[in-house]
Amino acid sequence: MCNNFKITDFAAIQMAIDACAAAGGGTVLIPEGEWHTGPIRLKSHVHIQFETGAKLVFSGAFEEYLPAVFTRWEGIECYNYSPLIYAFRCEDINIIGDGVLYGNGEKWWPWKKLQQEAANELCYAQANGMPVEKRIYATEKAALRPSFIQFIHCQDIVLSDFTIQDGPQWTIHPVYCDHVIVRNVTVLSKGPNTDGLNPDSCNDVLIEGCHFETGDDCIAINAGMNEDGWRVGRVCKNITIRNCTMNGGHGGVVIGSAISGGVENVHVSNCIIKNTMQGIRIKTMRGRGGFIKNAMFSDIEINEVSDQAIQINSFYEFSTVKPLTNTPSELTDITIERVHGCGAGSAIEIKGLPEKSLKNIVLKDIDLTAKKGITVLDTDSIQIENVRVEQE
């Protein structure tokens, strides 16, 4: 497709996107320089391409992100402020090129301390019979922060080669999407809950060659939370993560804790994780339900993590809102092999529930040094082969 639309020919970036879509698709070119914008809504067959030296600075004025749009906030459907870049029911959308996207996240971050009342209502909405169309939270009083990039019910997405910095909350957040590629993207975020990349009830996602320094989990795979996740019932599956680096944040590569719709077929390989709290982390808690099955982690280096280098934990102790039920999750067929590193607080922690033990866990060819060794609780059929842990 040869239609090119330079943003310098339009009064606003959104106008260039709209013109591109009206022409049947093409490329919106963002040249070198600093460009200021409000929220951007992408459309089918529109490709954003940055020239080297291009920088997009998103407005910190909250009112510009109205009207409210359909979204998923921490695993629960609602209507909230628009993400900074948003697409709904689109196909063939790209953001590519050596540019920088800056989200003015510090304007939003204080809302973390103000969100609890709205978060309580939203997280219990499904249990209390509140329909999605009534869950409207786009107010400063509610203080629920939007994601930076969020695509919902989209397919054939490519994100590559840019740097994205300091958004309001989760950074790259595809929801109910198919065929997503994120390649050679750098995510730098330091605010509360500013996860790097959250595939959320998606199918066929490839994440490769990316670098993360985040204020929360670097990559976190999710599938809806509690009763609302059960209602939607959409599995997050066929996720491939390879050749990525994580330097700082909470978990390096994480599954959970919002796994209520289920997670399956995850393959993580050839990653380097350092200076995080956890390295490989699988987390859930009573009340989440759902499942994790067929997850493989291999050829991973983990250094200088403050807590666990490897953790599978059904007793996850943190949640924005406490679940209403004790429904356990099912965790089975998880393999972790060829992992090495030093400087962890704890090498390996594996904890199932007394009423729902873990099944078919394989730890193989692992060499770690840590202050604490190995803990295994409530786990059936665990295989430990050629695992060496040196306690500091």
How many CA atoms are closer than 13 Å to the CA of 193, on its beta-carbon side?
A: 21
Residue 36 designated active-site: no
Class of residue 117 by CB neighbours under 10 A (exposed 0-12, middle 13-18, buried 19+): exposed
Given 200, 216, 217, 307, the catalytic residue: 216
Which candidate, 219, 127, 207, places its Cα nearest to that of 160? Answer: 207
Residue type at 60 in one-letter notation = G
Residue 267 designated active-site: no
- The rounded distance, in Å, linking the Cα atoms of 273 and 310 is 11
Number of H helices and E strands in the chain, helices first, is 3, 28
Q: Between vectors from CA 241 to CA 356 and to CA 313, what angle results, nearest 5°?
A: 25
H or E element at residue 16 = helix 13-22
Instruction: Count CB-CB contacts under 10 A for residue 324.
Output: 14
Find the radius of gyration of the CA atoms of the chain: 21
Counting every residue written for the chain, the total comes to 392
Q: Are 284 and 313 in contact (CB under 8 A)?
A: yes
62-75 as b/e: b if 16+ CB within 10 A: beebeebbbbbbbb
3-state secondary structure of 9: helix
Question: How many angstroms from the chain centroid is the CA of residue 121?
Answer: 23
Tokens standing for 69?
Answer: 């749009």
Given 173, 228, 250, 307, the catalytic residue: 250
Q: Between vectors from CA 26 to CA 11 and to CA 167, what angle results, nearest 5°?
A: 60
DSSP 182-200: EES-EEE--STT--SB--B
Active-site amino acid positions: 216, 250
